[in-house]
Amino acid sequence: MDERETAEHIEARFSEVGRKVPLNEIETRLNTLINKFKVPAEEARRSVINYFLKEYNIPKDKFYTNPGAAKTLKVKDVKSDGQWVNIRGKVAQLWENSHETISQVGLIGDETGTIKFTKWSKAGLPPLEEGKSYLFKNVVTSEWQGQYSIKLNKTSEIIPLEEDLVVNQTQIEFSGVLVDIQAGSGLIKRCPECNRALIKGACGEHGKVEGSYDLRVKAILDNGIEVQDILLNKEVTEELTSITLDKAKAMATEALDQSVVLDTIKGKIVGRYYTGKGRKVDRYILIDTIRQESKITEAQIDEVLELAGANVMNSRNIAEEAV
């Protein structure tokens, strides 16, 4: 959606609540934020709306509530920005979140596909559980760089469903040299209530908790043309590295330092050429299967690593072992 279309959507919504906001003023503010100050389009849209809400003294509840207008859609049918919808979906993934304004963020899906959701802290909505199915009522759609998502605010409603909905899991494949492992990998702890990764022993939803151990890898594959973020869960990480969760806990206990697990994982997999397959979610591929490729030459690895940058390599010797 371009700036003109976004401005028209904003103008139309203000008209629905009884206020005539000049289209040229909306478009000018959007253009300034996006093109002069390089503000992301979605953030610029919210900023412009909030400006005119204050300018015309319109309560946010009145603007963001659209009684009777929400349509019940399948995930694949979410194709417009700022639309009020109802969706029956299953929580496929809950993601790590460190933003105070966000209560939970992750992925929901149905038989037609998956979509990202964001639940705002101020909404005061109950926590969602991974693997559970819900009816999400009166949520608003959002678009950023061609990708659609839904937002849950205080006008939204979450209704648990008894049935276990099926989630469509279309898979894609990507091959490249594993050039880096990101922070938040290795031996981590998760909240026992919502399964979110703990940050400094605390859950963004439930505060300080005991936490349960998990094993994962957040990495980057580079094929010399493009890079791809990948996420490996415990089972895939164990199979790829031959480090089980129990072994990882034992290593951390012996060293009195959890970072020893991550260092060991880096030594085993960084610099090798892999093909991973899984679902594409946001910027990640959630890897279901991954294999090391033998049909890759030393020269090809050197070329990819040179393009990727020396800062992501442990040593030249690691790359040579992949040949």
CATH number given to 71-160: 2.40.50.140
132-146, 166-180, 301-315: least confident range:
301-315
pLDDT tens digit string along 168-218? 877 889 999 999 999 889 999 988 776 778 888 887 666 788 888 999 999
**Burial class of 247 by CB neighbour count within 10 A (0 to 12, 13 to 18, 19+):** middle
Closest Cα partner for 128 from 149, 109, 148? Answer: 109
Confidence of residue 66 (pLDDT cuts 50, 70, 90): low
Regarding pTM above 0.75, the answer is no
pLDDT of residue 307: 60
Q: Architecture of domain 171-320 in CATH?
A: Beta Barrel (2.40)
More confident residue, 11 or 308: 11
DSSP string computed for 95-150: -----TTEEEEEEEEETTEEEEEEEEGGG-PPPP-TT-EEEEEEEEEEEETTEEEE
